[in-house]
Structure 1
């Protein structure tokens, strides 16, 4: 006996019956999706310092994916906070940045060594920023940036250098910035225009005619005291290691190290060459040798030195 299919078992439609209106869910805007995402991640509890240390050590020893999941979910709000700092560079879907930052967070969990004395959130912030920055560099098609080393240097350092000059009492004009960053004045002007074109307020509402802001769904943006202490400890350690490195240099190398690499206003190669009675090329060679020595020295004394460095600041 033939088994009837679904169509044969349903009653025939009455052509005279009125059609019921199709129920369609309202289309969600990117702001609606973001608001929903923020509400979802707020359900995951944050970790205390003791819980963080216990879990990161347990994962380091066992590689248990469930432990990794707990660490990741507890730090999803950190990713959003960091992504907000880059929102002005990506005026499309903000969750694109969050997604890339989440990938960086997972990589941080995988690479983190809890026995190095560094707070996980501080370590993870570098991975999160690195993944977001790479995404921006790869996908910012409307204003092609990062196509040259000079542009990458400006993309990472332009705002910081402007703030630094203003703090010193100087007007951050393109000529002065170009001299300090060793790039062309035209590159400074173009990058400043590009990076300023999409400035938006982080206090903007999540959607039109809404009193809610993105920041209303996050904790305070203030850096926790323990994070500031951890950073201060790292800075103090780096300072001590730099001093130890200086002490092993020869007299001429010490001068070049101090006056070319440790000062806010470095001497020119020509000035130091005249001081020592050698060519500027010879000074450059000595400086290059010092940099190689310093890299090897720090990698030996601080194995995770790359984790301590802010990726955007590296040339």
Structure 2
């Protein structure tokens, strides 16, 4: 059945509201029933719409081409239900591929849109399946994608493959046997949560077996060295200073009340604030050298 000129103008309006508001159709079954009722285009009508889109960027023509092929997307998406993904999501991705095909469609090549669009619809659905089948993307290269969509079908009853079967599949798909063996391992595995669910207190998860980085030997030694420098090491370094330098450093940097100002210490010793700053700077330089030597001795020990 093909669209008449009057039906061609009416068909898009029948679904335009539903496409912009999926809730208007209710369920996925209602959507499928609706798109299956849309008449198909004849070759002449399809070519005319394709030229209007190509030559005049007629979006109404693009809409008519898309709507008349929505049933094709439904049919192709149904073939991928075995991957555990929602039919509605597969259809949605396929519709994106259909719109890309319509944008690139050239009616003067003598190829019907249905033949041209199949590639784009499958490509979008393939990308969606690979991206969402597992939490970790299972196929990235072209060979891995080919294996992903063929190995499940070619494995006998889902059982492990023997060396001869691996070689046969590799030869048939024109990939390396190593790629077949690797993809079989990936397909046989599964996602595993790093942490146990909150409602399963007695269950162990991989995170329970991870090493505590804070208890790594190098970090333990680093903490001990820092503790030594901040406690006994600092006191030992301060003891190498003269009494005035010690007092200035303690008053400026180690006091609990926020530290004395340069002017307060200048008044205490009867010298200028600049002279206090010079004494402080020289004392801090000596402290850094003493602490550096202390740390080197600790690491050597």
TM-score w.r.t. the length of structure 1 is 0.44
**Larger Cα-atom Rg:** 2
Larger helix proportion, structure 1 or 2?
2
The structure with higher relative contact order (CA 8 Å, sep 6+) is: 1
TM-score w.r.t. the length of structure 2 is 0.46
